[in-house]
Amino acid sequence: MKDGIVHWNVDPEIFWITDSFPLKYYGLFWITGLVLAYLVIQRIYKKEGVPVENFDQLTTYIFIGILLGARLGHCFFYEPEHYLSNPLEILLPIMKIDGAYQFTGFQGLASHGGTIGIIVAIFLYWKKTKTNVLWILDRVAIGTPITCAFIRLGNLMNSEIYGKPTDGSWGFVFERDDLIPRHPTQLYEAIAYLLIFGLLYYIYRSKKIENTSGLFVGLLLMLLFSARFMIEFLKENQVAFEDSMSLNMGQWLSIPFILIGIILVFWRKSPMHKMFNK
């Protein structure tokens, strides 16, 4: 480190389990984030006297929803032409290289798609169990920023989704790509998400708000995607077509979530709120 600049050249692969299957930091951080969020939400269930078995069933829905949603989101939001031409690569960890498929792991997961996947999974669970859907969304929302933070740390270990060049007095040099000091936007997002988790958990523990139904998921959507929207201004675009856009894809996809969050926070007495709060 010199003059506040960090030279970053971490190998994304921790070690090789077999000759063709490596253990990567990205996957490890994904799993770690999911497990930590699970433990937080499980503790909330126990604290409120709700059978943990109910949450274990919900966890299965969420796990499938987040993985499918994140993968499909990346494929269709960012690279639809490629994946429609190579459909096997959507749900299989392979990629066609020099005319032959090779194991590469999944090349891309989108947080917006993962969020949609979680919401769809919870609604399917709600339809089956008739549990109060806003109650479920609120509890899941409290733990979710932890997973989001660890995913961004995984991006950091991969030297990907980094920021634009800085003035040189501060930044990370991602040596696997170039020698330009850049904003470590992965860290910015990870820190923002952990602060959001701290705020949500503090509000939950304080019990100073009587009608919290829908509040936590509303705050999560509003705060997390607002942070994402702002930090995107410091990021390099992920795909070429974003260069011609006034706002990049991540920002456009964040706007609906921010608006939904505002509605849930400030319009919690609306008919839509009452429909799901039963």
Taking the CA atoms of residue 181, residue 186, residue 189 and residue 193 in that order, the dihedral angle to the nearest 10 degrees is: -150
**From 35-44, 130-139, 143-152, 195-204, the region with the lowest mean pLDDT:** 130-139
Partners of 235 in beta bridges:
163
Give the angle 114-251-159 at the CA atoms, nearest 5°: 70
- Identify the pLDDT of residue 19: 67
Question: Of 219, 228, 226, which Cα lies nearest the Cα of 262?
Answer: 219
Residue 163 pairs in a beta bridge with: 235
Per-residue model confidence (pLDDT) at position 2: 57
Q: What are the backbone dihedrals phi and psi of residue 161, each rounded to the nearest 5 degrees, phi first?
A: 50, 50
Residue 132 confidence (pLDDT): 85
For residue 145, give the nearest of 217, 249, 93, 62 by alpha carbon: 217
Half-sphere exposure of 180 (CA within 13 A, CB side): 11
Q: What is the pLDDT of residues 47-105, one digit of tens each?
A: 888 887 878 888 888 888 888 888 888 888 788 888 888 887 787 777 777 777 777 66
Residue-range definition of the domain harbouring residue 59: 5-276
Distance, in Å, from the CA atom of 200 to the CA atom of 37, rounded to the nearest integer, reads 13
For the chain, the domain total comes to 1
Rounded to whole angstroms, how far apart are CA atoms 104 and 21?
A: 9
**pTM for this entry:** 0.83
Give mean pLDDT, residues 238-242.
Answer: 79
